[in-house]
Amino acid sequence: MDEDAVRRFVDELSETDVSRLRAGASGFDGAGDHGIATIRDAEEVTEERLAMYTLCVDAMNFCFWPDHSAGETLKLEYEHLTAGWRRALEREEDFGDLLDASRLSKITGEELRALMKWPRPLPNEEERVRLLREVGYGLVEHFDGSCSALIRAANGSACRLVDLVVMHFPGFRDESVYRGRQVFLYKRAQIFVADVWGTWKAAGLGAFQDIAQLTMFADYRVPVTLREVGILAYSEELLVKIENKVEIPSHSEEEIEIRACTVHAVELIKKRFVERYGQEICSIVVDWLLWEKGEAKRETSIEPHHRTLTIFY
């Protein structure tokens, strides 16, 4: 971890980036609400369906490799997930109500492929379908089939909502053991809460009084950005593995260290932002900014991401 690089990164932020970080939830339409700003306020989009849309996307938001279509033009990316569920949100006549929890608890791989407009089995399709069924079943069993009821049960606490998600949906339990100590990273559970916060612009269902207590969302994209700006540095042994696209086992020390160091780096960025600009910001918006920078360079970056086959990110 290079703290001088942290200072350079924060001090050299553009005025636009500084303004967006200061603005919080309202500064990040694209990252904060999966790009649904154009339909969020439509009269036919109910609060419940918007909440279900957000949960469904985050239930499936993991591991876009291995994709055996890698040599073809069509390769599954995050935007394919959001586009598919946006269609379900807007046009029931095409799919029936796939955003109904009871229906979701029985979803099949074939239905999911139709939703995604995907011509073959999705990468990790069985796991994605299983997790969607788990979400549907958990909502039916504990929240009368309502995602907005799940969110309201947290009583305005982001931390409590994370707890409820991992309690009722086992597929969100992003936990490991590192040298005898438990580690709780909860990437997808936290990103769901953050997406609710962003979608509702910190009001209504998204009004959380403790949103600043969430960490960033430890995944594979943000570490690449942090390496490119010099904040993170890997050992030579780890770097060779990543550059050669050698799989880093899930729950291994190397994988946990990459993710934990990413979380720590964002905390250092936040600390420097306060020193430089005199305002506290939350980890969520730093994550969104770093993620956007990484996505903008996805096709041109010389830095590969680490490969870990997992349902957690």
List the catalytic residues.
Answer: 219
Q: How far apart are CA 207 and CA 220, in angstroms?
A: 29
Q: How far apart are CA 303 and CA 297, in angstroms?
A: 10
176: left (phi over 0), alpha (psi -120 to 50) or beta: beta
Tell which residue, 163, 199, 170, 203, has the closest CA to residue 52: 199
Q: How far apart are CA 53 and CA 85, in angstroms?
A: 6
Q: What are phi and psi of 177, to 5 degrees?
A: -120, 125
Tell which residue, 307, 304, 308, has the closest CA to residue 228: 304
Q: How far apart are CA 313 and CA 297, in angstroms?
A: 19
Question: Residue 218 has which token pair?
Answer: 């430890």
Element housing 178 (H / E) = strand 175-178
Question: Residue 83: which residues within 8 A CB-CB, separation 6 or more?
Answer: 116
Q: How far apart are CA 238 and CA 189, in angstroms?
A: 28
Write down how long the chain is. Answer: 313
